[in-house]
Structure 1
Amino acid sequence: MYNWSTCFIACIFVLGSLCSTAQTLDSTSLNNRPTDTTAPLPGLSTQIKASDTLILYRINGTYFKSIWEDAKYTVSRPIHWEKKDWITFGAVMGTASVLAVSDYPIKEFFQKHQYKAVNSFAHAVEPFGNAYSPYLIGGMYLTGVLTHNRKLEHGGLMAAKSLVLSTAIYAGIKSIIRRGRPYYFERPYNFVRPFSKDERFTSFPSGHSLTVMTFATAMAELYGKDHKWVPWVAYGLAGLTGLSRIYHNRHWSSDVLIGLSLGHFVTKSVFRRHKEMEHKKALQFKFTPLY
């Protein structure tokens, strides 16, 4: 019998390889000016180093306050969307609409093509959507704390608050849109009133897909620049996890797409705000006289 913990252990080794190459810079104060040899930031004074503008979180009041600030920033993002953002949104919603129309034939296709090997593989990747991802995020944080690796500790906290925010938004949507699961209903258009307690109507959106995509996007944001393979592996794993939910008849295809999209865009928003904060800090250094 296949040992499903093998996948989790393999991810721990991958995380360890990333940890071994992570920087250990410390920037806990917004007014901190470390004297290291990091290269100056492009376009700014040569006296300003990249490490000067880092903002690395620890569990404290500042971190918890940032969760609330990130929530407000994320929810208000559509107000500030540009043309390309609306095009992306339209593409996602258009694809979701096509899938919604095709949900039944897609379900029929997967149910008619059930194979032992594919089923085993689907069972192997499915836990990334409800068990492995949260544990890996917690593992990142604890590894960073125990090894005094500030970048890894910060990365775990960034991924954790991304998951908290995406899950909160997901829970709100799921409590209002009570869609019947394909496991219980033959057709995809079964709904009940909002806030119903009937567990059969908990299909939209896919929580597994949201969780694994939140983790995947965080990994891509944290390590994608230095390790080009990370986004490919992370997003590929997220996609396979979403497919496993369709294959096991737990979600409609449109549920999965919206879950993946929600996890991705919420996490991107969290990291975007963080980059904006570091940019603002860089500008403060630029226009503050050095004595």
Structure 2
Amino acid sequence: MKITFTLIFCSLIILLNITANAQNDTTHVPADSASAKQQLDSLQHNKPLTEEDTAISYRINRVYLKSIWTDLKYTVARPAHWEKRDFIRLGIVVGGAGVLMTAADYEVKQFMLRNHTGGWNAITGQIEPFGNAYSPYLIGGMYLAGVIAKDRKLENAGLMSAKSLLISTLLYTTAKSIIRRGRPTYFDSPFEYNRPFTMNKEHTSFPSGHMNTVTTVATALAEIYGEKHPWVPWVTYSVAIATGATRMYQIRHWSSDVWVGASLGYFVTKSIFRHQREMEHKKALAARAAAM
């Protein structure tokens, strides 16, 4: 039910105002009409191109919907273009998961069970929705606030975050459907697995969807606002870590589930924003070539 709610909500964000007159199809790679005009003005007056000139800023339209599919293909195909450092990161993620599965999952569960208190129950109950309801509402709120305030950066931030969440959710639900790991709520052993694509709720532990969701949103906000506001990553990732701890405290996930869910959300979102920067770089090169 929670997974379904997330998917439905993200779909509604994507489809919202899709036929509205204000949402014209103006964001081809290169850019919307405003950016194109700025580029033309810069070229005519021999002014250097600025970051604003070459930025790709989305609205909800056909171009944005197409970009979701393009980013999904880019993300899935990234391993074919990995460099040495990318394989090192993969090794850290896989190795970390292996260590947690064999040496920490059971012990972390027992530690959490021994330390349940009424106070911690209340606190974790307030934090848990950051990995489920709060994150999609935050994204939708960002987008609507941007539309109402005519703040293109905020509007685009909401759409980029929604796209990241939609793609990472698709990937984690696919992984969860194939890797049917038993939840610690039902099993004492972290090595309980069922056949792929079985539908019972007891085997839906790996990876953590809450952690994927909150880390995706945290990474998107850090990518968008972190450079100019260094406190943003500290806040967003702190919320993500607290959410992961909550899922272990509530005995809903093993520690390795949380680790892999966080890794998936982080690297998928990083990939999407990397693709965005690559397209903006191509746009800048095209603009400079036109000026020559």
Superposition TM-score, scaled by structure 2 size: 0.85
Q: CA RMSD in A?
A: 2.0
Who is 1:146 aligned against?
Answer: 148
**How far off its partner does 1:281 sit?**
0.4
Deviation by residue 1:165-186 (Cα, 9 ceiling, x = unmatched)? 0000011101111111100111
Counterparts of 1:37 and 1:66, CA distance in 2: 27
Amino acid in the other structure paired with 2:67 = S
**How far off its partner does 1:92 sit?**
1.4
Who is 2:72 aligned against?
Answer: 71
Amino acid in the other structure paired with 1:92 = V
Alignment of 1:117-136 (within 5 A): 117-136=119-138
Q: Where has structure 1 moved over 3 Å in runs of 4 or more?
A: 35-38
Q: Structure 1 residues 81-90 or 238-247, which shifts more?
A: 81-90
Amino acid in the other structure paired with 1:67 = I
Q: Does the CA contact (< 8 Å) of 1:224 and 1:230 recur in 2?
A: yes
Residue of 151, 174, 182 corresponding to 1:180 = 182
Who is 1:84 aligned against?
Answer: 85
Residue of 227, 241, 244 corresponding to 2:243 = 241
Counterparts of 1:222 and 1:121, CA distance in 2: 29
Who is 1:28 aligned against?
Answer: 32
Deviation by residue 1:179-223 (Cα, 9 ceiling, x = unmatched)? 111001111111111110111110111000000001100110011
Specify whether residues 251 and 199 from structure 1 end up closer, same or farther in structure 2 by C-alpha distance, changes over 3 A only: same
Counterparts of 2:207 and 2:50, CA distance in 1: 43
Specify whether residues 193 and 30 from structure 1 end up closer, same or farther in structure 2 by C-alpha distance, changes over 3 A only: farther
Deviation by residue 1:97-129 (Cα, 9 ceiling, x = unmatched)? 110112111111111111222222211111000
Q: Does the CA contact (< 8 Å) of 2:35 and 2:54 recur in 1?
A: no
Q: Secondary structure of the equivalent of 1:32? A: helix
Superposition TM-score, scaled by structure 1 size: 0.85
Q: Does the CA contact (< 8 Å) of 2:35 and 2:52 recur in 1?
A: no
Counterparts of 1:121 and 1:224, CA distance in 2: 27
Counterparts of 2:178 and 2:36, CA distance in 1: 45
Counterparts of 1:35 and 1:166, CA distance in 2: 33
Corresponding position: 1:195 with 2:194: no
Counterparts of 2:192 and 2:131, CA distance in 1: 24
Corresponding position: 1:96 with 2:97: yes
Q: Secondary structure of the equivalent of 2:291? A: coil
Counterparts of 1:119 and 1:165, CA distance in 2: 32
Deviation by residue 1:40-64 (Cα, 9 ceiling, x = unmatched)? 9xxxx84322221011000011000
Counterparts of 1:65 and 1:217, CA distance in 2: 22
Counterparts of 2:179 and 2:134, CA distance in 1: 27
Q: Does the CA contact (< 8 Å) of 1:28 and 1:56 recur in 2?
A: yes
Amino acid in the other structure paired with 1:181 = R
Q: Does the CA contact (< 8 Å) of 1:30 and 1:55 recur in 2?
A: no
Normalized per residue, the structure richer in helix is 2
Counterparts of 2:52 and 2:40, CA distance in 1: 8
Aligned length: 260
Could you list the runs of 5+ residues in structure 1 that have no partner in the other structure? 1-25
Q: Secondary structure of the equivalent of 2:69? A: helix
Who is 2:212 aligned against?
Answer: 210
**How far off its partner does 1:29 sit?**
3.8
Deviation by residue 1:140-182 (Cα, 9 ceiling, x = unmatched)? 0000011110111001000001000000001110111111110
Amino acid in the other structure paired with 2:197 = F
Amino acid in the other structure paired with 1:232 = W
**How far off its partner does 1:287 sit?**
1.1
Counterparts of 1:175 and 1:61, CA distance in 2: 30
